[in-house]
């Protein structure tokens, strides 16, 4: 597992730094909790942003893992996506995370 992880880390880092399409019709933002086998937390939130392009193509724009869902992580994720080229979104969909409207 260690060797596989060493090989995958550069690919994962490149994925998180790649240039993004500037236009999406819709971006769906959500987080789900996954159980862990670590001493620090029993479970952590996996944040995911899925975009639908004007042609209907779906794409995982980005994801991240954090101890819990909060607006600060969403704000960082949104700012990162903007800095990587995302400029125009017609519709954002998310659950009732407090502060999401302000972050957007």
pLDDT for the residue 87: 94
Q: Can you tell me the mean pLDDT for 43-67? A: 94
Write the pLDDT tens digit of every residue in 65-99: 998 899 999 999 999 999 999 999 999 999 888 88
DSSP H helices, the chain, are 2-17, 71-83, 100-103
**Cα-based angle 12, 71, 30 (whole degrees, multiple of 5):** 60
One DSSP character per residue, 26-50 reads EEEEEEEEEE--SSS-SEEEEEEEE
First CA to last CA across the chain, in angstroms?
38
């Amino acid at each position: 597992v260690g060797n596989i992880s060493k090989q995958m880390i550069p690919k994962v880092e490149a994925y998180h730094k790649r240039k993004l399409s500037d236009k999406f019709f819709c971006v769906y933002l959500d987080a789900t909790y996954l159980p862990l086998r670590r001493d620090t937390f029993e479970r952590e939130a996996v944040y995911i942003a899925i975009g639908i392009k004007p042609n209907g193509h779906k794409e995982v724009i980005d994801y991240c893992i954090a101890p819990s869902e909060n607006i600060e992580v969403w704000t960082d994720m949104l700012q990162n996506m903007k800095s990587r080229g995302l400029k125009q979104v017609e519709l954002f969909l998310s659950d009732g995370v407090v502060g999401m409207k302000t972050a957007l």
